[in-house]
Structure 1
Amino acid sequence: MHKKTEITKAALELFAEQGFNETSVQEIADAVQISKGSFYKYFSSKLALMLDLIEKYHYKIIERMNEFDWSRKTSKHSLAIYIELEINAWIEHQSFFHVLFKEFPPKTNLEITERIEKLHQTTVNNHREIFSHIYGDKLENYVSDLVLLLEGMMRESIFQLIIHKQTDIPSASIAKWISHHLHSVIQHIDEEEPLIQYRKQESIPELLQDIKELIKRIGNSSEKTKYNETISLIESEWKKKDLNLTLIEALLHFLKQNKDLKIKIWQLEQLLLQGERL
């Protein structure tokens, strides 16, 4: 096991047992038998380690949700299959998410909150896609309402039935129950006006244009030039048949350092991860 992985694993165990603020860097270092100075070779701070963990588990969730076979013909069971994959991802990494939500309530730390919002936006985008994929365009005006219902039902199921271990119910049964009730709602959904105004997700070209407009507003001419060159490289790379995803990720990371670009870059990143093409 790589030393960095050992450090994050030990840190997560200590955070779960003692709490984030109550755990010192020295204790983490002791747990993996390295010096405190060696810890700082891998992470600049305890917060940096936590941010790294969020990014790591963000991609673990994406990987699990991407196990859904989008190429297969859909049926009334497809939604349950997808929901079960997502529930299993949360169960598999429940110790991390327990620490995250217990130790970092909303707005406790700006950087942590931004990373959590990024994770949430990923799931929202996937939930929108799954409804459109299974039920087609007829639900377009109601997709935001359905995402709200799905996330509420999943959140309470995961926290109450699984994390707090109130009862032992298999994830497949939970997924089937949620999808059944959502399907029932969908049968009568057009009897009421949508509660939430639907806003169609922007495409990659639209996001690229939005980012270019934001770059124009940057006062520092040197930074503006660098950001323009970076977004041009991303656009050029994405048009190629064989993508260099490592290069794209590095370029996106550079752009995300500007707080005014961050949200749009996150949205672009999600589309790129989902395999959208220009």
Structure 2
Amino acid sequence: MKKITSEDIIYAALSLFSEKGYDATSVDEIARESGMVKASFYKYFQSKEALLLGTIVLIEKLLDADIKELYLKHQLPSREKLRQLYLIALGRIYKNKVHLLVYSVPLIGSKEEKIAQAIDRVEHYLSDVMIDFLIDAYGEFIKDYAYDINFVVKSMIVNSLRMSDSELSWTEQQTLAEFILSITDMLAQGMLNPNHQHQIMWSPDTSLYEGSNQFWTKGKQISYALQHMDTVLKQTELNEATRNEYVQILSRLQGELSEQNVEIAHVKALLLFLGQLPELLEDCTKLKAILEA
């Protein structure tokens, strides 16, 4: 008998999430679909939220592999690369309606924040690549409008799948990708028309596009840095007493930063202590700069 893996559980869960929705799917159902009992599920994932996070991380990994492969297809015309990017987005992200699951999760607890951050990474990565391909297909002059086109394209994909009663077949995905590409052509041609002036809605400095080399809102920068510090502490070799001390100080820092009126002096003192650990110094420096900006 084939040993069940965490990916087997993720694919089983995706099937159920797409069919029934995240909230309506129970751990019992996911376990049965995976071919195991409920107790065995918890050997792989601590909760349904942890499974959702694992799902998004897997999608991010598969998306990255697909896009890297697409970048290597130098012989493809730029417009065809854009069409294939739309197919990748349809197949890897939107087909599973994971974006709809995540946007319905309340951003209050640390688990939910990690889920939101994971989907943000996927969405921003896809946006960066799409804008890169738009410029390649329509020229450098489209750059000012590329963010608006990206917004329209994603909206079309989301609404097309939201209106669909069942999962799109491969043929239907091909048809939808062609349709979106034709709309992209019309948008690009219209926006590049020198006889018309167009209002730019989205641009690199809006919070919608908080990519790796673009502006991040303070809240998300802080949240990302704290999450990274927590991960670093878990991975750094420290004796138990020292680790516990740093974990407690990081917990106090998280508490201070979650207060409505942040005591900057307290926060700086905590950062000064945490910064003594070389592995945390970079994040501490970033946090200090964010708070002083």
> Does the TM-score normalized on the shorter chain lie above 0.5?
yes
Give 1:155-170 correspondences, 5 Å limit: 155-160=158-163, 163=166, 170=172
Flag the 1:222–1:25 CA change in 2: closer, same or farther, 3 A. farther
Q: In the alignment, is residue 154 of structure 1 matched against residue 157 of structure 2?
A: yes
Counterpart CA distance in 2 for 1:202 and 1:19 is 28
Flag the 1:156–1:66 CA change in 2: closer, same or farther, 3 A. farther
**Greater C-alpha radius of gyration:** 2
**Corresponding residue number in structure 1 for 2:204:** 199
Aligned equivalent of 2:75, options 54, 72, 77: 72
1:33-73 CA deviation, whole Å, 9 max, x = no partner? Answer: 3562x433322222112211121122223333333245336
* Secondary structure of residue in 2 paired with 1:192: coil
* Secondary structure of residue in 2 paired with 1:87: helix
**Corresponding residue number in structure 2 for 1:132:** 135
TM-score normalised by the chain length of structure 1: 0.61
User: 1:51 is matched by which residue type in structure 2?
Assistant: L
User: 1:196 is matched by which residue type in structure 2?
Assistant: M
Give 1:1-278 correspondences, 5 Å limit: 1-15=3-17, 20-25=22-27, 28-29=30-31, 32-34=35-37, 36=39, 38-69=40-71, 71-72=74-75, 74-90=77-93, 94=95, 96-97=96-97, 101=100, 105-110=103-108, 111=112, 112-160=115-163, 163=166, 170-190=172-192, 191-199=196-204, 219-220=269-270, 221-226=272-277, 229=279
State the Cα distance separating 1:86 from its structure 2 match.
2.6
Counterpart CA distance in 1 for 2:80 and 2:8 is 40
* Secondary structure of residue in 1 paired with 2:82: helix
Q: Which has the higher contact order (CA 8 A, sep 6+)?
A: 1
* Aligned-CA RMSD value: 4.2
Counterpart CA distance in 2 for 1:176 and 1:113 is 30
Counterpart CA distance in 2 for 1:15 and 1:3 is 18
Structure 1 unaligned residues grouped into runs of 5+: 233-254, 265-278
User: 2:44 is matched by which residue type in structure 1?
Assistant: Y
Counterpart CA distance in 2 for 1:123 and 1:174 is 18
Counterpart CA distance in 2 for 1:163 and 1:225 is 54
1:207-228 CA deviation, whole Å, 9 max, x = no partner? Answer: 9xx989x8997542333344x6
User: 1:186 is matched by which residue type in structure 2?
Assistant: A
User: 2:163 is matched by which residue type in structure 1?
Assistant: Q
Contact 1:150–1:178 (8 Å) recurs in 2: yes
Counterpart CA distance in 2 for 1:18 and 1:154 is 20
Task: Report the number of matched residues.
Answer: 226
Flag the 1:158–1:218 CA change in 2: closer, same or farther, 3 A. farther
Contact 2:27–2:38 (8 Å) recurs in 1: no
1:160-200 CA deviation, whole Å, 9 max, x = no partner? Answer: 358466x9963333222222222222223142234225227
* Secondary structure of residue in 2 paired with 1:67: helix
Contact 1:14–1:23 (8 Å) recurs in 2: yes
State the Cα distance separating 1:10 from its structure 2 match.
4.1
Structure 2 unaligned residues grouped into runs of 5+: 227-263
User: 2:56 is matched by which residue type in structure 1?
Assistant: I
User: 1:106 is matched by which residue type in structure 2?
Assistant: S
Contact 1:61–1:89 (8 Å) recurs in 2: yes
State the Cα distance separating 1:116 from its structure 2 match.
2.7
TM-score normalised by the chain length of structure 2: 0.58
Counterpart CA distance in 2 for 1:126 and 1:49 is 27
* Secondary structure of residue in 1 paired with 2:77: coil
Flag the 1:222–1:24 CA change in 2: closer, same or farther, 3 A. farther
